[in-house]
Structure formats: C-alpha cells, structure tokens
Amino acid sequence: MKRNSILLLVVVMVLSLFLTACGSAEPEAAQPSDSTEPAEVAEPTAEDPITLKFLHRWPDELYDGFFNDMAREYETANPGIIIDVQAIANDPFKEKIKVVLGTDEAPDVFFTWPGEFTNRFIRAGKVMDLTDVMMKDNYIDNYVASQMEPFTVDGKIYGAPVRVDGKIFVYNKEMFAQAGVEIPETWEEFVSVCEQLDAAGIVPIAFGNQAPWAVSHYIGTLNQKIVGEPIHAAYDPAVGDFSDPGFVTALEEFERIVPYFNKNTNAIKHSEARENWMASKAAMMYIEIVEIPEITRNGPAEIQDNYGVFEFPEYVGGNGDQTLLTGYPEGFVVSNTTKHPEEAIAFFKYITGKEVGLKEANAVGWLNGAKGIAKKGEISDSLYENTQIIYNAGGLVNWLDSGMHAKVTNEYLTDLQMLIDGLLTPQEVIDNVQEVATEVTSEF
Amino acid sequence: MKFGKKNYWLYILPAILLIGTFVYVPIIQNFYFSLFKMNSYTDEKIFVGLSHYVRIFKDDVFYTSLKNNITYALISVICQVGLGTVLAILIESKLTGRLRNFYRNVLFMPSLISVTAVGLLWYFIYNPNVGMLNALLTKIGLENLTHAWLAEPNVAIYSIIAMSQWQYTGYIMVLILVAIQKIPQELFEAAEIDGANGIQKSLFVIIPNIKEMLLVTSVITVIGAFKLFTEIYVMTMGGPYNTTQVLGTYLYQSAFMFDEMGYASAIAVIIFTITFTASIIQIRMAKSGKG
C-alpha cells in the first residue's frame, strides 16, 4: 500500500513537471505547417463568428476610439467577423509585444515599427509574408511606393503603413523675430541661430530626454547626414561596424547644441518638452510630423498662427545624401500563426487602405500609406504641406532606435544621456557602442 | 486504503503538489533556463552553460543594481524599523494624548495607496520645473538645494528611496505598535515604581520585549528591498543611464527589452540566492533571540 502511494506521488510530481515544462513548446506544434495556405475554415456566419485580434499602440481615447470605430464599421460590412481591438501604450508595447508573440494567443493583425524591431520577429517566423497578396493583381499599387519600402525585407513584403512620418523642426515665429534670426539652411547657421536666440535670452531648443529615444532622433539624423552609406553596415546587427570617423563627428556636432537645450533634459519627458514649447518657453523643437495635430488640437491659441516648420538643416561637407528625411512609417503586419489567414489579410487590407486612410486623415490627422489621400482641399492644409515634406524627400531614414539591435540601441542611448551630462566623450560613446555591436554580431 | 499514523504525508500532499507546481518547479526551471540563450517569442534555446553567470559578474549594471538594492535595504531598515520604532513608542506614550489614533492613522495612510499611484504622485513632486519640492525649497530661500531629483545620477536613487520611506515607515510602525500593546502592563508599572523615566522605559522595557517583532520587520524590509521593482519602473525605468537600476528592473529589461530571457533567469537566480540567504540568516537570528 505504501509503495503504491509513493508511486502515485512520484507520478503526479513528474506529470506536473512535464506539464509545466511543455507549456512553451505547445504553440509551435499547434501551428499549421504552412500558414499562408488558407486553413480549412467554414465560411463565417453570424451564428458562428470569427474573432480577429487587432493590436495597436494608442490607448488614448482619440486614437483608440478611431480604431474602434473603424473595427465596428468593418464588422457591420462583414457579418460574422468580430474585431477584438486592443491597445498598449508606446513604451510598454515594445516589451509586451514580445510576450504575446510567444503565445498562441498572438494578435492576428498587429502594430509594429519596421526595421530591426520587426526583423527579429520576421527571423523568428512570427510575421506573415504578404508578397503574394501584394503582387496579386498588383495590389501593392494601392500604396505609396516609397512608404512600402520599409516593409520590404530581403525582397519580401510584410506589412503596410498605418501612419507615415518624418522628423522636422517647429519654430516660434515671434521668438525668431525677436532674436532677429531666419530659418537656418545649414548646420552652421543652425548653431548660430541657437547662439543668437540664447543671447536674446530665449531658450533655443525644447528637449525632453527622460526616455532617451528622443536623443536618438538627433543622432540618427546627424549620422545619416555626416556618415552617409556606412550607417547601414553599422546598424545591421550582423555587421555592426562603427569604425567610420563620422560617427564620432556626429556626436561632436551634437555636443555643440547641447548648451542650447532647456535645463534638466534627462528629467523631462518628450511630451512635457512639447508642452513647454507650445507655451512659448522655447523657440524650437525637433518633433515628428505626426505630433503636429497635437499642436493643432491642444496648443494654446497664441501658438496656432505663430509657428512654422523647417527641415533638419543641411550638413555641408557631409558624406550622406542631404535630401533624405529621418522618419519611417509605422505599420501593421499579419501574424504568421493566425488561425484565420484569409480574414486577417482582408482586415489588414481594410485598415491600411484608402477608405480608412481618408477617415484617419480627418479624424486624427495622420496619413496612412494608401495612394490618393494627400489631396489639397480634402485634408487640412498643414497636414497636406507636411506630408509633402515626406513625399518629396529623397528617401527615408529609419529611426535610430528601431533600426538597430535592442542591445546596441540601449548602449547608444544610455551613453548619449551621459554625453549630454558631460560624463562621456564622443569617442568613448562610440567605443562602447562598438564593443556591444561586436558582441551582438556573434549571435548572427 | 487505511489511514494509519504513517500516512500523515497524505494529508499534506495537496499542499505539497500546489506549492511544488507553483513555487519549487518554477524555481528549478528558472535555474535550468539560466543555462540557455533564449527569448520570449521563439522556442529556440541555445545551451550556453554557466556563461551568463560569468557575464553577470563582469557586468557593471549588475553591480550598480546590487549596490542600489543594498543601499535601499540599509536605509529602509534604519528608517522604517528604526524611526518606525521611535514613532510607535511616541504614539504609545502619554505625549500624544487624545490625538493618538489620529497620528497613527495619518502615518499609516500612505502604505494603503498603491505603489503606482504613489510613484506618479512623487514623480510630480520631484518634477524640476513644476514640482512641489523645488517650489518649496525656492520659497524658503534654499534655492541652491533644488535638484532635478529623478534625473541627477547622484540624487535619483535616494529620491526614490526617500519616497519609499514616506510610504512604508507608517506600516512598520503599526506592526511595532501591536507588539508594544502586547507587553504586559505590569512591566511598565514595575519600571515606574523603580523610578524609570520615559526613555528608560523605552530602552529597558519596550525594546527587549519587542525584539521578535523588530527581527520580523527587518526581514520584511530587507526582502522587500530586493524585490523592489514598481517604484523604479514608474519613476525612472532605471535611468538616468542605469544609475537607479535595481536587480528587479534589470531582470525585467534583460528579459523584455533586450530579448535575453536566459540572462534574466540568471539574474533571478542571484536575487533568489540573496533573499533566501537573508531569510535563513534572519530566521537563525530569530531563533537565537528566543533562547
């Protein structure tokens, strides 16, 4: 009797161990071997609806409300489909998406940043290859070609934009007049504008770097303009070569404008800095075009007719193409493990398409990647003009932080905070980054 | 089947199974995972042996984290247990009079608020431009003491520690109050007859009689210090440049930001070892206290 009980105990213990240990392996086995092949699913009906999980990254009422409205409209037009809309805010999204993609509860259509951020999921087989879908009847022609490039990896297409974007300077016209300065055309002029504003007792640049992706936008742009082509080899996690002297030069140039930021940059959030700029506490700010609607909606009346935009000034003598614009679209992709590939693709086409795009432009002030939306008169003038900056650019340069391997990004951004505080020299920053980048290459 | 004396373990079997499945198996699994290179979104695992541990001991951020945890533990024990005891004695003394319950509740209140809410509250208090703290310092003429509290590397971690003391000293104080109230009244009377004053009563009657509780509260604060996470996550995310990183947040970032589940598991093993050792030491001490 006693022996039996012990046996029972052992069996139960082993079983429990086995069950917990298997947890992570199960989803893989459950996947269809070729998920682009439509699984055998019955036509969805109102009685037996199909639920698609849709994950985006804007929990704020305005944006989340918009996507929910779009989902409801889609449900009405497509009986038998239920769209389960979920939203996670920017910074936590970066962490949580990795966890949900590891489970078999992964969202069917989800948000992502193109570049290395997405590439690692592509390498892990989590993102559906949409090349066939896009090539069939030239469906891809429905999108603005330049905005689809970021979603193309090794010749395969994986997604489409939810909003196009680019980084520009906004400036306070009154303050510029007060200091007697004009829009700078070159980097040297830009530095001198900062000097003159400062001399006039105006804080030249509003900057909030508590979450250090903010600084990465400056450095990403300077790297592109000064270093040029070699940035691609540097950011590629498999190569990671930061030996080009331009990387140090870029930081040295950046150091020249550090004195012209507001105080306590590491203590202020980017959004707080924007508030300060809107309240006319600083003359300029380097922001994303998608933030302009924020100024229109929430800025005080005094700023509305009192601001203008200009592009990042040219770096004379830089090796990079000076017509390129820092800024990448953000987009949606389809999960490779979705149980309803056909329905997921259909919804993906809808949410990145022209119909939603037009409503999006007017409701939230963003432009998605569909062709034929950016027409004068159909969308607001400022949105139209800013969009032209994106479309007229010689090309787009990915955000530094989503363009590189997470570990390299972390080292780079942490060190940049220290550079701003004067604790590291440009050379030391690049040495540290190179060290981590080399470490990372060993994983490829 | 007959339930004889020897079958006592059958009664504890359900508990063992539950604890085993949800506590011991994960701990063992965690150690196993620390030997692999893996991330959260693929099933691929590469065996790397003990190299994560080798790396940990060369990792500057790990040492910063450990130092911050230890600093937090030391300050917490001194402030929460030390100051908490003093406050408890004061509240129990005749000085507080009719306002006794009022003081107790006011001091206890902060520990009832969720850490996230407290973190946000203090985030605004510490804000360098619009925050209350800098405004207050400026008002009373101490402008040179103003700081960007959460952004200056030498100040940030102490700002967070200070917030925790504000939150938890009252909690520890209440635990000690309970212990003081359990001391037999005769002891105080005897001391009074012997002519002891307030301080003497505290030192020679109260402290020796609440020794057990002081040990328990020390264990709670030290273990709490090594489990620190939410405060940092809400207020600084470990920044500026990792100076407020603690083991908990570093583990989290390694796992979910840098895609290094294995390395994070190794950090978890270290945290486990530290808290486990701390508990054993303090349990031993508590036993010797009895004897």
Could you report the per-residue pLDDT of A100-152, keeping only the tens digit for each?
Answer: 888 878 899 999 999 888 998 998 889 999 999 999 888 998 998 888 989 99
Contacts (Cβ under 8 Å, ≥6 apart) of A267:
A210, B127, B128, B148, B149, B150, B151, B152
Chain B nearest CA to A98, separation (Å): 6
Would you state the pLDDT for residue B288? 55
Chain B nearest CA to A55, separation (Å): 16
Distances (CA, A) of B162 to A118, B52, B122, B156, B243: 40, 33, 10, 10, 16
- Hey, are the CB atoms on A102 and B13 less than 8 Å from each other? no
In a domain, A38, yes or no: no
Show the tokens assigned to A441.
């290459």
Question: A302 with A436, same domain?
Answer: yes
In a domain, B5, yes or no: no
Domain with residue A304: its CATH number is: 3.40.190.10
In a domain, B23, yes or no: no
Would you state the pLDDT for residue A46? 59
> Lowest-pLDDT range, A38-52, A170-184, A329-343, B19-33?
A38-52
In a domain, A67, yes or no: yes
Three-state DSSP at B192 gives: helix
Domain with residue B112: its CATH number is: 1.10.3720.10
Question: A187 with A291, same domain?
Answer: yes
- Hey, are the CB atoms on B43 and A24 less than 8 Å from each other? yes
- A6 has a pLDDT exceeding 80: no
In a domain, A305, yes or no: yes
Set of chain B residues whose Cβ sits within 8 Å of the Cβ of A418: 240-241
Question: A239 with A279, same domain?
Answer: yes
Contacts (Cβ under 8 Å, ≥6 apart) of A78:
A346
Set of chain B residues whose Cβ sits within 8 Å of the Cβ of A264: 128-129, 148, 151
Distance from C-alpha of B55 to C-alpha of B32, rounded to nearest angstrom: 17
In a domain, B154, yes or no: yes
Question: A300 with A410, same domain?
Answer: yes
How many domains does chain B fold into? 1
Would you state the pLDDT for residue A45? 59
**Which of B7, B153, B256 lies closest to A95 in CB terms?**
B256
Contact (CB, 8 A) for B84 and B176: yes
Question: Which residue in chain B is spatially nearest to A25 when comparing CA positions?
Answer: B43
DSSP structure class, residue B196? -
- A34 has a pLDDT exceeding 50: no
How many domains does chain A fold into? 2
Set of chain B residues whose Cβ sits within 8 Å of the Cβ of A9: 13
Find tokens 């997470």 and name the residue. Answer: A406
Write out the residue range of the structural domain in which residue B194 sits: 50-290
- A15 has a pLDDT exceeding 50: no
In a domain, A87, yes or no: yes
A162 sits in the region (left: phi over 0; alpha: psi -120 to 50; else beta) called alpha
In a domain, A398, yes or no: no
- Cα dihedral across residues A389, A390, A396, A400: positive or negative: positive
Distance from C-alpha of A333 to C-alpha of A345, rounded to nearest angstrom: 9
Name which of A22, A417, A428 to mutate to probe chain B: the one with the most chain B Cβ atoms within 10 A of its Cβ: A417
| Per-residue pLDDT tens digits for B14-43 | 999 999 999 999 999 999 999 998 887 777
- Hey, are the CB atoms on B257 and A95 less than 8 Å from each other? yes
In a domain, B44, yes or no: no
- B185 has a pLDDT exceeding 80: yes
Distance from C-alpha of B134 to C-alpha of B126, rounded to nearest angstrom: 7
Question: A178 with A160, same domain?
Answer: no
In a domain, B222, yes or no: yes
Chain B nearest CA to A4, separation (Å): 10
A73 or A444: which leads in pLDDT: A73
The mean predicted confidence, pLDDT, of chain A is 86
B20 and chain A: CB distance < 8 Å anywhere? yes
Contacts (Cβ under 8 Å, ≥6 apart) of A202:
A175, A178, A179, A282, A283
Would you state the pLDDT for residue A39? 43
Backbone angles phi, psi at A319, to 5 degrees: -85, -10
| N-terminal to C-terminal alpha carbon distance within chain B | 43
Contact (CB, 8 A) for A165 and A289: yes
DSSP structure class, residue B60? H
Question: Which residue in chain B is spatially nearest to A17 when comparing CA positions?
Answer: B25
**Which of B7, B25, B252 lies closest to A17 in CB terms?**
B25
In a domain, B16, yes or no: no
Chain A nearest CA to B145, separation (Å): 15
B258 and chain A: CB distance < 8 Å anywhere? yes
- Hey, are the CB atoms on B153 and A421 less than 8 Å from each other? yes
In a domain, A29, yes or no: no
Set of chain B residues whose Cβ sits within 8 Å of the Cβ of A120: 259
* CA A145 and chain centroid, separation: 18
Average pLDDT over residues A337-362: 91
Name which of A98, A126, A407 to mutate to probe chain B: the one with the most chain B Cβ atoms within 10 A of its Cβ: A98
Distance from C-alpha of B164 to C-alpha of A202, rounded to nearest angstrom: 38
Determine whether A441 is exposed, middle or buried from the number of CB atoms within 10 Å of its CB (0-12, 13-18, 19+). Answer: middle
Question: A95 with A229, same domain?
Answer: no
The amino acid at residue A199 is A
| Per-residue pLDDT tens digits for B56-86 | 999 889 999 999 999 999 999 999 999 999 9
In a domain, A12, yes or no: no
Write out the residue range of the structural domain in which residue A150 sits: 43-164+328-393
Question: A177 with A107, same domain?
Answer: no
Of residues A162, A137, A132, A159, the one with CA closest to residue A148: A159
Question: A155 with A172, same domain?
Answer: no
| Per-residue pLDDT tens digits for B233-288 | 988 888 788 899 999 999 998 888 888 889 999 999 999 998 888 888 877 876 65
Per-residue burial over B69-100, b = 16 or more CB atoms within 10 Å of its CB, e = otherwise: beebbebbbebbbbebbebbbebbeeeeeeeb
In a domain, A113, yes or no: yes
Percent over 90 (pLDDT), chain A: 51
**Which of B6, B39, B151 lies closest to A266 in CB terms?**
B151
Would you state the pLDDT for residue A373? 82
Return residues 214-243 of B near A (CB < 8 Å).
237, 239-242
Q: Count chain A–chain B contacts defined by CB atoms under 8 A.
A: 100
Distance from C-alpha of A192 to C-alpha of A118, rounded to nearest angstrom: 39
Would you state the pLDDT for residue A8? 53
In a domain, B38, yes or no: no
Question: A383 with A411, same domain?
Answer: no
B149 and chain A: CB distance < 8 Å anywhere? yes
In a domain, B181, yes or no: yes
